C-alpha cells in the first residue's frame, strides 16, 4: 500500500523552528491538500516529503519504508511546480520523455508512456510544439504529464495553478480532477492557498498554522465543524463572522449574552462550569438572512453593499471598526449604504468557541 506516514516531523533552520512535530497518515489513493497562510510551513513540508529539504527530527515513511536519508530520485515521487520548469528548447514530447531517457527506459516504453499521458491530458496535438507556443494552462499540463510518465508512487503538487489567470485555473483544476479519477490508486499531495481548489479537489484537507496542524478532515467536515477559531476563520469565503459573547446559561441548549443586553440560544452543550465565561459566537455570511421582526441576531448600519448579481454582500458595523459583519444574500437586494438592518440565522448553523479558541462542538 503506497501511502505516506509522518511521525513527529520537525524542521528548523538554525534557531528558527518551522515545523513543530507533524503527525499525519496519508493512505494510498488519497488526494490530500495542505492549506494555511503564508509562512505556515505547507510548502516546506511538501519539499521534505520530496526529499528537497532535510528532516531535522522525526520519521517519514513512503510505501512502508523510512525515507529520511533516501535521495529524491529513489523515493518514487514526482513533483509538479508552480513555475512549470519545462526545458524551453525541447518539444512537449521531449520534455515529457526526458526523465525516462535519463533512466534509460526503452524507446518503445518511453513512446507508450508519453502518448498515454498526452491522451489523458489532451496534449496529443501539441507533442511537436515548443513550450513558448503553448498557453500557461497547456504548459502546466505538460509538467503534469512529465510527472505521470515517471509512474510515481506519490504525486506532489506545489501550488501548480497559482501562475494562471482565473479562467485557466478553472480549466486546469478540472483536468486535475479528471486525472484524480483516472489514477484512483495513486496518492496525491497538493499545496495551495486557494480554498476553491482545496474544497473541490481534496479527499482530506490538512489545515496548518505556524508549523502545526490545526485540523485534518474532509472539506465539508472542516466547513461545518471547525475545531477552533483559526480553522473557522480560514475555511470559507467570505470568512466566518465572529461575535464576542458571554455564556449566560450553559447546558444542552446554551443561552448567550450578546451586545446590547440581548440574548441568543444555541443548541450546543456547554458545561455548567463555564457559566459567565467569555466566548465567541461564529456565523457564516451565507447563513445570515434579513429579519423584519424582533427575532434577530445582529443589528447594524450598512457600511458597504457589493452587488455581484448572483449574490449580494452586505458589510455591517461590527464589534470593531476594522472587522465588519458580512452577510451573503442570494440574488439582488434593494438595501443601501447607511440603512439599519437586522440579520438572523438558524441556531443550528451557529458555532460557539470557548475562551481558549476551541469549538464546543466535539
Rounded-to-integer distance, Cα 75 and Cα 157, Å: 15
- Taking Cα atoms as reference points, which of 187, 288, 209 lies closest to residue 20? 209
Cβ–Cβ under 8 Å, residues 311 and 331: yes
CATH number where 134 lies? 3.40.50.300
Structural domain contains residue 362 = no
Q: Are residues 229 and 273 in the same domain?
A: no
Cβ–Cβ under 8 Å, residues 29 and 3: no
Q: Are residues 90 and 186 in the same domain?
A: yes
Rounded-to-integer distance, Cα 17 and Cα 157, Å: 24
Phi-psi region of 79 (alpha: psi -120 to 50; beta: other; left: phi over 0): beta
Structural domain contains residue 298 = yes
Structural domain contains residue 358 = no
Q: Are residues 195 and 334 in the same domain?
A: no
State the CB neighbour count (10 A cutoff) for residue 194.
17
End-of-domain residue from the set 172, 204, 234: 234
End-of-domain residue from the set 234, 262, 289: 234
End-of-domain residue from the set 182, 203, 234: 234
Structural domain contains residue 119 = yes
Find the angle CA(318)-CA(361)-CA(248) to the nearest 5 degrees: 60
CATH number where 293 lies? 2.40.50.140
pLDDT value of residue 348: 93
C-alpha cell at 137: 494552462
Q: Are residues 174 and 80 in the same domain?
A: yes
Cβ–Cβ under 8 Å, residues 109 and 167: no
Q: Are residues 221 and 309 in the same domain?
A: no
Phi-psi region of 67 (alpha: psi -120 to 50; beta: other; left: phi over 0): alpha
Q: Are residues 155 and 304 in the same domain?
A: no
Structural domain contains residue 301 = yes
Q: Are residues 96 and 174 in the same domain?
A: yes
The secondary structure of residue 142, as a DSSP letter, is H
Rounded-to-integer distance, Cα 26 and Cα 9, Å: 14
Q: Are residues 225 and 263 in the same domain?
A: no
Name the strands in the sheet holding 340-345, side by side, starting at the edge strand that comes first in the sequence: 288-290, 340-345, 298-307, 311-320, 323-330
Exposure of 199 in the CB half-sphere (CA atoms within 13 A): 12
Q: How many domains does the chain have?
A: 2
> Which contiguous run of DSSP H or E holds residue 291?
none
Rounded-to-integer distance, Cα 178 and Cα 237, Å: 25
Structural domain contains residue 319 = yes
- Taking Cα atoms as reference points, which of 157, 187, 185, 155 lies closest to residue 173? 157
Q: Are residues 200 and 160 in the same domain?
A: yes
- Taking Cα atoms as reference points, which of 13, 82, 100 lies closest to residue 46? 82
Rounded-to-integer distance, Cα 173 and Cα 296, Å: 40
> Which contiguous run of DSSP H or E holds residue 31?
strand 31-35
Q: At what angle do helices 92-102 and 136-149 cross, to 10 degrees?
A: 20
The secondary structure of residue 127, as a DSSP letter, is T
Cβ-proximal residues to 257 (8 Å cutoff; 6+ apart), any chain:
245, 246, 247, 248, 263
Please report, in tens digits, the pLDDT of each residue of the chain (362 residues total). Answer: 578 999 999 999 999 999 999 999 999 999 999 999 988 999 999 999 999 999 999 999 999 899 999 999 889 898 888 887 899 999 999 999 998 888 888 999 999 999 988 988 889 999 999 999 998 888 988 998 898 888 888 999 998 888 788 887 888 888 888 888 888 888 999 999 888 899 999 999 999 999 999 999 999 999 999 999 999 999 998 999 999 999 999 999 999 998 877 889 999 999 999 999 999 999 999 999 999 878 889 999 999 999 999 999 999 998 776 789 999 999 999 999 999 999 999 999 999 999 999 999 86
State the CB neighbour count (10 A cutoff) for residue 12.
13
Q: Are residues 227 and 308 in the same domain?
A: no
Structural domain contains residue 359 = no
H helices of 150-206, where? 166-182, 195-201
Domain span including residue 339: 241-353
Q: Are residues 301 and 229 in the same domain?
A: no
pLDDT value of residue 1: 55
Q: Show the 3-state SS of 292-323.
A: CCCCCCEEEEEEEEEECCCEEEEEEEEEECCE
- Taking Cα atoms as reference points, which of 341, 343, 338, 332 lies closest to residue 303? 338
Q: Are residues 313 and 348 in the same domain?
A: yes
Task: Name the pTM for this structure.
Answer: 0.90
Structural domain contains residue 129 = yes
Amino acid at each position: 500500500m503506497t501511502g505516506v506516514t509522518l511521525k513527529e516531523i520537525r524542521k528548523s533552520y538554525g534557531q528558527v523552528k518551522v515545523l513543530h512535530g507533524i503527525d499525519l497518515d496519508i493512505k494510498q489513493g488519497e488526494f490530500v491538500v495542505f492549506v494555511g497562510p503564508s509562512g505556515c510551513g505547507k510548502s516546506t513540508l511538501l519539499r521534505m516529503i520530496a526529499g528537497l529539504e532535510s528532516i531535522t527530527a522525526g520519521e517519514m515513511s513512503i510505501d512502508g519504508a523510512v525515507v529520511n536519508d533516501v535521495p529524491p530520485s529513489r523515493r518514487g515521487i514526482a513533483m509538479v511546480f508552480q513555475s512549470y520548469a519545462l526545458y524551453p528548447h525541447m518539444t512537449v514530447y521531449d520534455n515529457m520523455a526526458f526523465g525516462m531517457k535519463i533512466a534509460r527506459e526503452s524507446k518503445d516504453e518511453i513512446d507508450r508512456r508519453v502518448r498515454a499521458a498526452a491522451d489523458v491530458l489532451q496534449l496529443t496535438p501539441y507533442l511537436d510544439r515548443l513550450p513558448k507556443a503553448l498557453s500557461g494552462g497547456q504548459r502546466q499540463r505538460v509538467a503534469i504529464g512529465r510527472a505521470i510518465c515517471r509512474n510515481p508512487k506519490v504525486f506532489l503538487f506545489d501550488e501548480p495553478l497559482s501562475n494562471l489567470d482565473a479562467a485557466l485555473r478553472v480549466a486546469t483544476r478540472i483536468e486535475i480532477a479528471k486525472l484524480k479519477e483516472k489514477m484512483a490508486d495513486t496518492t496525491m499531495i497538493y499545496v495551495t492557498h486557494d480554498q476553491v481548489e482545496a474544497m473541490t479537489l481534496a479527499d482530506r484537507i490538512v489545515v496548518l498554522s505556524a508549523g502545526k496542524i490545526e485540523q485534518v478532515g474532509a472539506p465539508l467536515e472542516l466547513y461545518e465543524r471547525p475545531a477552533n477559531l483559526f480553522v473557522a476563520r480560514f475555511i470559507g469565503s467570505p470568512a466566518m463572522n465572529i461575535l464576542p459573547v458571554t455564556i449566560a446559561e450553559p447546558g444542552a441548549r446554551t443561552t448567550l449574552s450578546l451586545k446590547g443586553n440581548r440574548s441568543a440560544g444555541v443548541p450546543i452543550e456547554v458545561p455548567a462550569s463555564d457559566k459567565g465565561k467569555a466566548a465567541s459566537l461564529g456565523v457564516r455570511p451565507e447563513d445570515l438572512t434579513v429579519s423584519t421582526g424582533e427575532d434577530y441576531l445582529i443589528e447594524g448600519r450598512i457600511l458597504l453593499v457589493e452587488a455581484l448579481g448572483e449574490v449580494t454582500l452586505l458589510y455591517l458595523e461590527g464589534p470593531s471598526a476594522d472587522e465588519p459583519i458580512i452577510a451573503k444574500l442570494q440574488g439582488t437586494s434593494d438595501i443601501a449604504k447607511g440603512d439599519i438592518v437586522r440579520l438572523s440565522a438558524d441556531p443550528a448553523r451557529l458555532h460557539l468557541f470557548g475562551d481558549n479558541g476551541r469549538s464546543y462542538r466535539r
